[in-house]
C-alpha cells in the first residue's frame, strides 16, 4: 500500500511492515499505525512514520549505541497486550530529539522506550517508572 509522508513523499510499503500500536505513543492516542523507515545505510537512526498522518514521524535510535547496559523490565501486561511469545521478537527503540539549530545537542528518551514485537507487528510505548533512566539523555559527549 502507499503511504503519504511529508518528509519522504509517497512511500510504498507491505501491509506486514505496519506496526499496530496497541499501547499508543503518549500524547498520540489516535495514531495506531506506524512504519519504520531506515535513515540511511550505517546510520544509527530510523524514522517511525505514522501511516495516517503524513507529517508525524519520530527519530528513533537504539541503546546498543551506548556503552552502558540498558536493562529494562517489560511488564506482564505489556507482554500480553503486544502478544509477545518469544523474547527474540522484541525490539527496543528510543525516541531521539535532534534540535535543528544544534544537532550536537541531540538527546534520547531512555525513560519511555518503544517496544516492538517484530513477529506479531504490535508495538507500544511504555514508561519505566522508577527506573531512574533519563528522559533527555545526551547522545553526544561534548554537549552534556
Partner 1 sequence: MLIITRKNGQKIMINDDIEITIVESRNGTCKVAIQAPRSFKIYREEIYVQIKLANLMGQESSTDSLDQASNLISKNKTSLNDAVVRTDSDDEIVVNDKKPFKTRVFVKKQQKPND
Site of interaction with partner 1 (CB under 8 A): 7, 23, 25-28, 39-45, 56-59, 62-77, 79-81, 84, 87-88, 90-92, 95-100, 103-104, 106, 109, 111-112, 125, 127, 129, 135-142
Distances (CA, A) of 38 to 28, 30, 47: 22, 24, 6
Nearer to partner 1, 13 or 45 (CB): 45
Backbone angles phi, psi at 98, to 5 degrees: -120, 105
Cβ at position 33, least distance to partner 1 in Å: 15
- 96 - beta bridge partners? 59, 108
DSSP state of 1: -
95: left (phi over 0), alpha (psi -120 to 50) or beta: beta
Nearer to partner 1, 5 or 18 (CB): 5
Nearer to partner 1, 2 or 41 (CB): 41
Cβ at position 100, least distance to partner 1 in Å: 5
Amino acid at each position: 500500500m502507499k503511504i503519504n509522508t511529508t518528509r519522504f513523499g509517497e512511500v510504498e510499503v507491505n501491509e506486514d511492515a505496519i506496526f499496530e500500536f496497541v499501547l499508543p505513543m503518549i500524547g498520540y492516542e489516535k495514531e495506531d499505525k506506524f512504519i519504520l523507515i531506515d535513515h540511511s545505510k550505517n546510520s544509527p537512526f530510523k524514522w517511525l512514520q505514522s501511516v495516517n498522518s503524513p507529517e508525524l514521524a519520530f527519530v528513533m535510535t537504539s541503546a546498543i549505541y551506548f556503552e552502558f547496559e540498558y536493562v529494562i523490565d517489560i511488564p506482564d501486561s505489556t507482554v500480553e497486550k503486544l502478544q509477545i511469545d518469544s523474547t527474540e521478537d522484541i525490539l527496543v527503540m528510543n525516541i531521539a530529539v535532534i534540535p535543528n539549530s544544534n544537532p550536537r545537542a541531540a538527546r534520547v528518551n531512555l525513560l519511555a522506550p518503544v517496544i516492538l514485537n517484530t513477529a506479531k507487528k504490535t508495538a507500544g510505548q511504555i514508561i519505566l517508572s522508577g527506573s531512574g533512566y533519563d528522559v533527555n539523555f545526551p547522545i553526544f559527549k561534548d554537549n552534556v
